[in-house]
Amino acid sequence: KAGVTQTPRYLIKTRGQQVTLSCSPISGHRSVSWYQQTPGQGLQFLFEYFSETQRNKGNFPGRFSGRQFSNSRSEMNVSTLELGDSALYLCASSPAAQGRAFFGQGTRLTVV
């Protein structure tokens, strides 16, 4: 069974631009969560989608948004990038409304 796939793995963007990250969960998993990891703030929860509906949201500005498609694939969008958005963005999928979370390899975003 294929694991969680995140694309792209690495990304360099300029301040003010926007970026879209993609996450394909494990087949059959309906829940997708996104996390931001930085050296200063550690791992922080961004949001979770379950069956195309946002179920939980972390404490991030509105520049961070996401969505989930009918095949459970999820995208995360960050608009008007700031230097502080440079981070490893991790996606996790779970099989059920509450289940064990399995993570992808992450997308490392650098904003210059």
Partner 1 sequence: AQKITQTQPGMFVQEKEAVTLDCTYDTSDQSYGLFWYKQPSSGEMIFLIYQGSYDEQNATEGRYSLNFQKARKSANLVISASQLGDSAMYFCAMRALILTGGGNKLTFGTGTQLKVEL
From the list 12-20, 65-73, 75-83, 87-95, the region that binds partner 1 by CB under 8 A is 87-95
Number of residues that bind partner 1 (CB under 8 A): 26
List Cβ neighbours of 19 (8 Å cut-off, separation of 6 or more).
11, 13, 77, 78, 81, 109
Question: Binding to partner 1 by residue 12, rule CB under 8 A?
Answer: no
Neighbouring-strand partners of residue 97: none
Least CB distance to partner 1 at residue 15 (A): 23
DSSP the chain: ----EEE-SEEEE-TT--EEEEEEPPTT--EEEEEEEETTTEEEEEEEEETTEEEEE-S--TTEEEEE-TTS-EEEEE-S--GGG-EEEEEEEESSSS---EE---EEEEE-
Task: Work out how close the CB of 81 gets to partner 1 at its nearest, in angstroms, rounded to a whole number.
Answer: 20
Which among 17-25, 67-75, 77-85, 98-106 is the span making contact with partner 1, rule CB under 8 A? 98-106
- Select from 2, 14, 42, 70 the one that contacts partner 1 (CB under 8 A): 42
Q: Does 99 bind partner 1 (CB under 8 A)?
A: yes
Chain residues binding partner 1 by CB under 8 A are 31, 33, 35, 42-43, 45, 48, 50, 55-56, 58, 88, 90, 92, 94, 97-106, 108
